[in-house]
Structure 1
Amino acid sequence: MPPLAELLATARVVALPLVTRFRGIDVREAVLFEGPEGWTEFSPFVEYDDHEASAWLAAAIDYGWNASPPALRDRVPVNATVPAVDPDSVAAVLARFAGCRTAKVKVAGGDETLAQDVARVRAVREALGPEGRIRVDANGGWNVDEAEHAIHALAPFDLEYVEQPCASVEELAEIRRRTKYMGIPIAADESVRRADDPLAVAEAGAADLLVVKAQPLGGIHRALELIGRTGLPVVVSSALDTSVGLAMGARLAASVPELDYDCGLGTASLLAADVTQTPLVPEDGSIAVRRVRPDAELLDRYAVDPERTEWWLERIGRVHAVLAEAATAIE
């Protein structure tokens, strides 16, 4: 693990505006570092505590300071991401994801009704046509009874899978049991990336596939180890990263032996600005597997103010200490 001073020496903190409000935010903040292997990203959401954020810093170090595993492909197919927008806005959102045949639709928002979710998914189906693929993501927003009702309501739109319909592993196992006859797979996201034991969801038979993200899982190497141990198919996704972070996710996806699903790595299309003039946005439904070097002018343009920079640098110091303590305990 590099010393803290080495991380801070190249740290640049940026705030990038979003095209559409997403996950309750209008601006995405991130810290970029340059390591021996190239630029890397640390961007845990601000509400995450230092312990949870430590996996994100481990991932940044892994990608910036360690050689990546061999790539098995040079492009990764990706899905469009449709936030909780009105049906009339769906076509404009999808237009930002050039050539994508799959759309992930956000549902179960706190202030959204099931009728609104159904209308949004219907609009996506109409836009994609019968051959398009639709997956919905509830971010654990339903209890088991609500999830069962919602899955029945959304089933006519031919769902590829339902992502994290309920919050807990036990609830996921129950809703999977209740809806198994419908043939709609259940995917786990938060139950993997925010769990003390990422393997628990697979061991409990609570999911048909896993959504994996490089940053929350501690980096490419740790994520690949997890994938190998579960034996379940995976979707490699992102956490609304800059193109630097998306490059990390793309390299993970490129290293997965079997990639049966389009990946959630097209989210640069949700950003109104990025840190590079050549962002990793979808082209013909996929993104390239390549490292991204940020442009100095864009780093300056979207830099946060000094007070906010200090907040992030202090956070990095605390999280680095958490990682150092964990490393000492292992030794």
Structure 2
Amino acid sequence: MSEPTDTAVPAIDEILERTRVVSLPMATRFRGVDHREAALIEGPEGWAEFSPFLEYDAPEAATWLAAALDFAWRPQPRARRDRVGVNATVPAVSAAEVPDVLARFDGCRTAKVKVAERGQTLADDVARVRAVRDALGPEGRIRVDANGGWNVDEAEHAAHALSEFDLEYIEQPCATVEELAQIRERLTDWGIPIAADESVRRADDPLAVARAGAADILVIKAQPLGGVRRALAIVAEAGLPAVVSSALDTSVGLAQGAALAAALPELDYDCGLGTAALLAADVAEPRLAPLGGEIPAGRVVPAAALLDEHAASAEREAWWHARIRAAHTHLTG
């Protein structure tokens, strides 16, 4: 089998021959789903993951496929560290459920808390964050993620309501770069940094947020940004500190995120790469879950028995194959 050059894309038949599609049950419902589907691809350099969320179209999914092919077919940039500190991730659960969620993240002293969930109120968010602060104690670090769910006025009101919990930062409080710039200016005196996620990974121009002075921190993900190399280039050009996060990946995908985190020249924040703890099952044994608040930086090889046990149905496998074909056509077209 031929190995591609830096710009070549492997043939679609070869990719599909090397692909396994899995469906993994969630321990906690997240992003409206209770199973996580993913296509895992074994290339000459090892295994990679292709798992754009189901609603993403072919042009957007093509960037995720480029990342998977890069990780599976090409050696990766040099690692500067062999372990990566990670945060706990708390979905939009009730305050009473918070201790059970945090218990899955061994040794994590940082927690990212989902807020601005549809159908919930700011009071729900305050209660959830208060429960996290009570669990972590005064030395724990708390960041909240609104996924662009507030307008500027709502974000300002929420930031003030949550400020008593000593937030590390607010991630994507508003949807647009212009709104992020406005809320960042309004919160300057409050000392609450703004992190940009969707405004980087789902943007035609991922550097626009940095040029606009709309964020203090970039949240970067290997898959949505086209792979480790492209993500590193974006961080270097933006000139902002970065937090590496995941897209609710299997352990295979988390290993790609860990490769990105390990290659960053500076890594001042715990990373959102502990999300295997949100899965009720995984493809690796042991899974790439937090231990002492860290995960190792290294490739993961899925277990054949687990690939078989969690194989998607024939219908879902065909759906993912069609999706890979569409993304591949976009890459090569």
Q: TM-score, normalized by length of structure 2?
A: 0.97
- The answer to whether structure 1 residue 110 and structure 2 residue 118 are counterparts is yes
- Distance in 1, matches of 2:262 and 2:18, equals 27
Deviations 1:286-328 (A, max 9, x none): 0001111111111111111111110110110110010002xxx
Unaligned runs of 5+ in 1: 326-331
Structure 1 residue runs of 4+, over 6 Å off? none
Offset of 1:278 from its aligned partner?
1.1
Identity value in percent: 69
User: Structure 2: how far apart are the matches of 1:79 and 1:111?
Assistant: 26
* Aligned position for 1:329: none
Kindly report which structure 2 residues correspond to 1:243-282, keeping only aligned pairs within 5 A, or say none. 243-282=251-290
Structure 1 position 36, deviation (Å): 0.4
Q: Distance in 2 between matches of 1:140 and 1:124?
A: 21
SS at match of 2:235: helix
Cα offset, 1:157, TM superposition: 0.3
Aligned length: 325
Distance 2:164 2:32 in 1: 29
Structure-2 separation of matches of 1:279 and 1:59: 21
Matched, 1:324 2:332: yes
Distance 1:193 1:114 in 2: 26
Cα-Cα RMSD: 0.5
Code of the residue aligned with 2:231 in structure 1: it is A
**Within 5 Å, which residues of 2 pair with 1:1-331?**
1-325=9-333
SS of structure 1 residue aligned to 2:187: helix
Q: CA deviation at 1:247?
A: 0.1
Residue type of the alignment partner of 2:170:
V
- What SS does the aligned partner of 2:113 have? strand
* Secondary structure, aligned partner of 1:2: coil
Partner amino acid for 2:286? T
TM-score normalised per structure 1: 0.98
Deviations along 1:38-77, one digit per CA (max 9) or x if unpaired, are: 0110000010000000110000001000100000000000
Aligned-partner Cα distance in 1 for 2:52–2:292: 30
Write the letter of the residue equivalent to 1:302: H
Q: Deviations over 1:203-234 (max 9, x none)?
A: 00000000000000000010001111000000
Which stretches in structure 2 are left out of the alignment for 5+ residues?
1-8
TM-aligned CA deviation for residue 164 of structure 1? 0.1
Distance, in Å, in 2 between the alignment partners of 1:67 and 1:89 is 42
Letter paired with 2:103: A
Supply the distance in 1 between the matched residues of 2:58 and 2:325 (Cα, whole angstroms): 10
Distance in 1 (alpha carbons) for counterparts of 2:330 and 2:138: 49
